[in-house]
Amino acid sequence: MWRRVASVSHLTFAQKSIVNKDVCKLKFWEAFSTGIPRKEKGTFQRDKTPFITFVLGGPGSGKGTQCMKIVENFGFTHLSAGDILRREIASNSADGTMILDTIKEGKIVPSELTVKLIQKEMESSDNYKFLIDGFPRSEDNRIAFEQIIGAEPDIVLFFDCPEDEMMKRVLNRNQGRVDDNIDTIKKRLKVFSALNLPVVKYYLERGKLYKINAVGTVDEIYKQVYPLFAQFNFEQQV
Ligand code: UP5
Ligand code: MG
């Protein structure tokens, strides 16, 4: 069983209500985990409740860049769903070709496959604090995560950035990504606004969404991000 470790005594009423929702979440997690064979190591043997942050935003909105800074300051494990899928392609796995074709088209890889890969990473990590970057990209992704992992995010960051700025950043990246070309970026932006924005709205309505203005320098943007994590008083990572 996982145990929550963030101290809550200093939190505002609104923040405590988020934590209260997590108490329900913990029961859900435990109920879910009892149906699953217990493993020597892994998700269901932890003595800490996971602290899960979903990091959302369009292509080039700065998700990965800001996650690196959160990792440095708060000791999170950064799971970029896009990076995990790119590693799967590079490993020549059975799904590699399908994933590559999907990414080239700016479409979304089947939810169950992505969630199982994320689950593998979570289970093999000794950490309990996770940044899940670039996921969920659709309602289908979100529901698959809830069903397979049996948990909801504690908080959701949304990097809000205008399309022209995102396009400029992606085209200037020069890291050889197969999807960093003008045709694929246009498709990624369309998929983002059609499928990802409903997820953003869902978490807004549940009071979990933190919208960040993603225009400005990296440090200016991080000034908005830092206090969101500082408020939780995380214990030192064990
Ligand atoms: N940069 C960053 N911040 C800046 C700033 N403030 N000012 C100026 N420049 C800034 O940043 C992008 C570039 O901008 C970098 O060069 C950076 O230095 C600069 P980055 O932090 O990399 O932005 P990020 O939001 O992470 O952009 P990314 O392109 O990674 O986002 P995507 O969501 O498009 O990509 P991802 O890797 O998550 O997914 C790729 C594809 O995989 C998807 O299109 C999809 O086909 C597939 N996928 C799924 O199917 N399912 C999933 O769950 C996840 C992915
Ligand atoms: Mg990224």
Q: What are phi and psi of 48, to 5 degrees?
A: -130, 140
- What are the CA-CA distances from residue 118 to residues 79, 91, 162, 185, 221 (Å)? 7, 16, 28, 24, 27
Q: Who's near 123: CB < 8 A, 6+ residues apart?
A: 39, 41, 42, 43
Evaluate whether residue 44 is within a structural domain. Answer: no
79 lines ligand 1 (CB under 6 A): no
How far is ligand 2, taken at its centre, from the CA of residue 126, in Å? 23
Cis peptide before 136, with omega less than 30 degrees from 0?
yes
Test site for ligand 1: of 169, 181, 195, most ligand atoms within 8 A of the Cβ? 169
How far is ligand 1, taken at its centre, from the CA of residue 212, in Å? 16
Give exposure, 185-207, as e/b (b: 16+ Cβ within 10 Å): beebbebbeebbeebbeebeeee
The domain of 81 spans: 50-230
Evaluate whether residue 10 is within a structural domain. Answer: no
CATH code, 136: 3.40.50.300
Evaluate whether residue 121 is within a structural domain. Answer: yes
Evaluate whether residue 8 is within a structural domain. Answer: no
Evaluate whether residue 140 is within a structural domain. Answer: yes
Evaluate whether residue 102 is within a structural domain. Answer: yes
Test site for ligand 1: of 65, 163, 188, most ligand atoms within 8 A of the Cβ? 65
Write down the residue that tokens 């225009």 correspond to.
Answer: 215
184 lines ligand 1 (CB under 6 A): no
* Domains in the chain, number: 1
Evaluate whether residue 39 is within a structural domain. Answer: no
Q: What is the pLDDT along the chain (238 residues), one digit of tens a residue?
A: 343 333 333 444 344 344 334 333 333 333 333 333 333 333 545 677 899 999 999 999 999 999 999 999 999 999 999 999 999 999 999 999 999 999 999 999 999 999 999 999 999 999 999 999 999 999 999 999 999 999 999 999 999 999 999 999 999 999 999 999 999 999 999 999 999 999 999 999 999 999 999 999 999 999 999 999 999 988 654 3
Residues in a beta bridge with 174: none
Residue 185, helix vs strand vs coil: helix
Evaluate whether residue 194 is within a structural domain. Answer: yes
136: number of Cβ within 10 Å: 28
How far is ligand 1, taken at its centre, from the CA of residue 170, in Å? 7
- Provide the sign of the torsion angle of the four alpha carbons 172, 173, 175, 176, taken in this order: negative
143 lines ligand 1 (CB under 6 A): no
Tokens of 165: 């700025």
